[in-house]
Amino acid sequence: MRGYYTADQVREAEAPLLASLPDGVLMRRAAYGLARVVADELRLYTGLLASRSVTLLVGSGDNGGDALWAGAFLRKRGVAVRAVLLDPERAHRRGLEAFRRAGGRIESDLGTPDLVVDGIVGISGRGSLRPAAAALVEQVRCPIVAVDLPSGVDANTGGVDGPAVTAAVTVTFGALKPVHVLAPQRCGRVELIDIGLDLGEPDFRSLDPAEVGARWPVPGPSDDKYSQGVVGVIAGSAQYPGAGVLCTGAAVTATSGLVRYAGHGAAEVLSRFPEVIASAAFEDAGRVQAWVVGPGMGTDADAAALLASVLATDVPVLVDADGLSLLAENLDLARRRTAPTLLTPHAGEFARLAGTEVGSDRVRAARALASDLGVTVLLKGHTTVIADRGGQVLVNDAGGSWASTAGSGDVLSGVIGALLAAGLAPLDAAAVGARTHSLAANLAAAGGHADVAGAPISASPLLGSVRDAVRVLRSVARN
CB neighbourhood size of 349 (10 A): 24
Q: Three-state DSSP class for 134?
A: helix
Report pLDDT for 47.
Answer: 65
CA 244 to centroid of chain Cα atoms: 27
What CATH number is given for 209-478 in this structure?
Answer: 3.40.1190.20
Give every CB contact of residue 379 below 8 A, 6+ residues apart in sequence.
Answer: 345, 346, 347, 350, 358, 362, 365, 366, 385, 386, 387
The pLDDT tens digits for 155-189 are: 999 999 999 999 999 999 999 999 999 999 999 99
Q: What is the rounded distance in angstroms from the CA atom of residue 244 to the CA atom of residue 294?
A: 9
Is residue 66 part of an annotated ligand binding site?
A: yes
Query: Is there a binding annotation on residue 359?
Result: no
Backbone angles phi, psi at 22, to 5 degrees: -55, 150
Q: What pLDDT is attached to residue 51?
A: 80
Beta bridge partners of 279: 262
Residue 193 marked ligand-binding: no
Residue 128 marked in a binding site = yes
118 appears as a binding residue in the annotation: yes
How far, in Å, CA of 145 to CA of 319, rounded? 42
The reply to whether 451 sits in an annotated binding site is no
Q: What is the pLDDT along the chain (479 residues), one digit of tens a residue?
A: 999 999 999 999 999 999 999 999 999 999 999 999 999 999 876 667 778 999 999 999 899 999 999 999 999 999 999 999 999 999 999 999 999 999 999 999 999 999 999 999 999 888 999 999 999 999 999 999 999 999 999 999 999 999 999 999 999 999 999 999 999 999 999 999 999 999 999 999 999 999 999 999 998 888 888 889 999 999 999 889 999 999 999 999 998 799 999 998 999 999 999 999 999 999 999 999 999 999 999 999 999 999 999 999 999 999 999 999 999 999 999 999 999 999 999 999 999 999 999 999 999 999 999 999 999 999 999 899 999 999 999 999 987 777 788 899 999 999 999 999 999 999 999 999 999 999 999 999 987 655 555 678 899 999 999 999 999 999 999 88
For residue 343, give Cα distances in angstroms to 154, 215, 355, 375, 376: 27, 21, 15, 7, 6
380 labeled part of a ligand binding site: yes
479 is in an annotated binding site: no
**Residue from 294, 359, 302 nearest 327 by CA:** 294
Predicted pLDDT of residue 372 = 98
| β-sheet with 258-262: strand ranges across | 2-4, 204-206, 393-397, 383-387, 376-379, 341-343, 317-319, 290-293, 230-234, 258-262, 277-279
Residue 391 assigned ligand-binding role: no
Neighbouring CB atoms inside 10 A of 301's CB total 9
To the question of whether residue 413 is assigned a binding role by annotation, the answer is no
Q: Which phi and psi angles does 351 have, rounded to 5°? A: -60, -35
* Residue extent(s) of CATH 3.40.1190.20 domains in the chain: 209-478
Contact by Cβ (8 Å): 143, 346: no
C-alpha distances out from residue 159 to 71, 273, 385, Å: 29, 43, 14
**Model-wide pTM > 0.85:** yes
SS (H, E, C) 186-201: HHCEEEEECCCCCCCC
Q: How far apart are CA 233 and CA 240, in angstroms?
A: 15
Cα distance between residue 73 and residue 66, in whole Å: 11
64 annotated binding-site participant: yes
Q: Are 172 and 191 in contact (CB under 8 A)?
A: yes
Is 346 marked as a binding-site residue? yes
Enumerate the CATH 3.40.50.10260 domain ranges in the chain, comma separated: 2-205
Rg (CA), the chain: 25
Distance separating alpha carbons of residues 231 and 259, to the nearest angstrom: 5
How far apart, in whole angstroms, are the C-alpha atoms of residue 463 and residue 197? 43
- pLDDT, position 43: 85
Q: Is 65 annotated as a binding residue?
A: yes
Bridge partners, 213 (sequence order): none
Is 122 marked as a binding-site residue?
A: yes
- How far does the chain reach from its first CA to its final CA, in angstroms? 16
What's the CATH fold of domain 2-205? Rossmann fold (3.40.50)
Distance from C-alpha of 7 to C-alpha of 5, rounded to nearest angstrom? 7
Q: Is 244 annotated as a binding residue?
A: no
Q: Is 335 annotated as a binding residue?
A: no
Element (H, E) at 205: strand 204-206
Report whether 61 belongs to an annotated binding site: no
384 is in an annotated binding site: yes
pLDDT computed for residue 410 by the predictor = 97
| Residue 459 Cα to chain centre, angstroms | 20
Q: Does the annotation list 225 as a binding residue?
A: no
Q: Is 399 annotated as a binding residue?
A: no
The answer to whether the annotation marks 148 as part of a ligand binding site is: yes
